[in-house]
Amino acid sequence: MVTIEIADRTERIARLNDRARNGLDRSSRILVTSGLHAELADEKPADAIFAQARLIGAMRRCTFQADTPERDFASFEVDGIKILMKNGYYDAELIYGSEDPADASIARRVVTLMPAEDY
């Protein structure tokens, strides 16, 4: 049945997105925009490391709205800054869009974190 196939595909994509967001997919990348990094971190290297840790922790704990069943978009706050998280799907070389985000053998995920005003 087509509805079951779509639901299975959606859940497969959601699980792959969860793995990327939680650092369990070695082929995925987490990208923090320079604008967000500048807003969260002071000039000291240690401050930048702690800011990144707060950001990654918040991303891993974020919740998703019902209209994002693939768990590929969310918003949350860190240090009073509204942050958007968006998954992108690319080919193995991270050049072109993926032909099938549900197929982990050909799709690479890039999780982008940015301040809401940059979206």
In contact, 16 and 102? CB cutoff 8 Å: yes
Per the structure, the complete domain to which residue 67 belongs is given by: 2-118
What would the pLDDT profile of 17-36 be if each residue is shown by its tens digit?
Answer: 999 999 999 999 999 999 99
Domain total for the chain? 1
What would the pLDDT profile of 77-111 be if each residue is shown by its tens digit?
Answer: 999 999 999 999 999 999 999 999 999 999 999 99
* Token pair of 39 as six digits: 């807003």
53-64 burial string, b = 16+ CB within 10 Å, else e?
A: eebbebbeeeeb
Q: In angstroms, rounded to a whole number, what is the distance separating the alpha carbons of residues 6 and 1?
A: 9
Q: What is the pTM of this model?
A: 0.90
In contact, 91 and 108? CB cutoff 8 Å: yes
